[in-house]
Amino acid sequence: MADILIRAVGFGNGGDMGMPVLDRDIVKTLGLSLTDIAEILDEMEGEFLKSEDLIPSE
């Protein structure tokens, strides 16, 4: 799940161009809905944007 989330916001590189398949059983086990996942992605993206201020630019 973490690999999917991090790739979805475009941070990091898994060494390939593939996106793992979201396992519905994992989503169910975690008690998440697709709306929850969308909200998590929005929050992650906001946090990454804030962290850009901490990284010196070249």
pLDDT (0 to 100) of residue 43: 93
Q: What is the residue range of 32's domain?
A: 2-51
Per-residue pLDDT of the chain (58 residues; tens, 9 = 90+): 888 888 888 777 777 778 888 888 999 999 999 899 999 999 998 888 888 777 777 6
Determine contact, residues 18/12, Cβ cutoff 8 Å.
no
pTM of the entire predicted model: 0.70
- Does residue 58 belong to any structural domain of this protein? no
When divided into structural domains, the chain yields a total of 1
Q: Identify the DSSP state of 19.
A: -
Determine contact, residues 7/36, Cβ cutoff 8 Å.
no
- Does residue 17 belong to any structural domain of this protein? yes
